[in-house]
C-alpha cells in the first residue's frame, strides 16, 4: 500500500472542500480557492474533518496516482489556509531587485534591466540590506504556480559554477569548480 496515499488529509478551520461528480476537487479557504481534476479511478471522500483517497486495485499506475493526488490535495489545503512562500537571493556585484506591484524589476549584470511580470496569484516582496545579497520573497496559495514562477526567475541568471554568481534559492548550496589554475 502507498504510505502517502493512505494518510488522510486533515482540514483546518475555515477550509471547505467539495468534490464534483466529474472528480473535480475544489478547496476554498481564507487565502483563495484552488481546483484540481482527479483521475476517475481514484475516489475522494470527505469524512468529517478529513479527506480520504482510495484506489480500486494495486496496479502500479493506481498506486502512483493514489500518492500523487493525496499530495496535491494536501498542498492545496495548506495553500488556502496558511499559504506557501519561497525565497531567492541574488548573488553578484551590482545585482538588484525591486518590486513594483506585479512587476519584478531586476538588474542582473546584463546591459539592460529585466522586467518580470508575475501572475496575479503570486505576490512579491524584495529586501535589500547593506552588505548582504538582495532577497526576493514570493508568496502564493498555489504551490505549483509558485514553483514555476520561481524556476523562471532563476533561469534568468542561473548560478554559475566558478564564482557562484546568479539567482539561487535561500539555503541552496552551489558546488563550485576550481577552475584551470588548480590543475597543476
| Half-sphere exposure for 172 (CA within 13 Å, toward CB) | 19
pLDDT value at position 137? Answer: 97
* Phi, psi for 151 (deg, rounded to 5): -70, -35
**Percentage of residues in the chain with pLDDT exceeding 70?**
97
Lowest mean pLDDT among 70-74, 124-128, 179-183: 179-183
- The grid cell for 71 is 499530495
162: confidence class by pLDDT, cuts 50, 70, 90: very high
pLDDT value at position 1? Answer: 45
Domains defined for the chain, CATH in brackets:
3-81 (3.90.930.12), 84-169 (3.90.930.12)
**C-alpha radius of gyration, the chain, whole number:** 21
182: confidence class by pLDDT, cuts 50, 70, 90: low
Cβ 106 vs Cβ 97: under 8 Å: yes
* Phi, psi for 52 (deg, rounded to 5): -120, 130
| Half-sphere exposure for 92 (CA within 13 Å, toward CB) | 21
* Torsion sign across C-alpha atoms 46, 47, 49, 53: negative
Check pLDDT > 90 for residue 3. no
pLDDT per residue over 86-101, tens digit each? Answer: 999 999 999 999 999 9
Check pLDDT > 80 for residue 139. yes
The Cα 28–Cα 16 span in angstroms is: 5
pLDDT value at position 41? Answer: 92
| Half-sphere exposure for 14 (CA within 13 Å, toward CB) | 10
Amino acid at each position: 500500500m502507498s504510505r502517502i496515499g493512505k494518510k488522510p488529509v486533515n482540514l483546518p478551520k475555515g477550509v471547505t472542500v467539495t468534490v464534483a461528480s466529474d472528480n473535480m476537487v475544489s478547496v476554498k479557504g481564507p487565502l483563495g480557492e484552488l481546483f484540481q481534476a482527479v483521475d476517475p479511478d481514484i475516489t475522494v471522500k470527505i469524512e468529517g474533518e478529513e479527506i480520504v483517497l482510495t484506489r480500486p486495485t494495486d496496479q502500479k499506475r493506481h498506486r502512483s496516482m493514489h500518492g500523487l493526488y493525496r499530495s496535491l490535495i494536501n498542498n492545496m489545503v495548506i495553500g488556502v489556509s496558511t499559504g506557501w512562500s519561497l525565497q531567492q537571493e541574488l548573488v553578484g556585484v551590482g545585482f538588484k531587485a525591486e518590486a513594483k506591484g506585479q512587476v519584478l524589476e531586476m538588474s542582473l549584470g546584463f546591459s539592460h534591466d529585466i522586467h518580470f511580470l508575475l501572475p496575479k496569484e503570486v505576490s512579491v516582496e524584495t529586501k535589500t540590506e547593506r552588505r548582504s545579497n538582495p532577497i526576493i520573497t514570493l508568496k502564493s496559495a498555489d504551490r505549483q504556480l509558485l514553483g514555476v514562477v520561481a524556476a523562471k526567475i532563476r533561469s534568468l541568471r542561473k548560478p554559475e559554477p566558478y564564482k557562484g554568481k546568479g539567482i539561487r534559492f535561500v539555503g541552496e548550496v552551489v558546488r563550485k569548480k576550481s577552475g584551470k589554475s588548480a590543475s597543476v
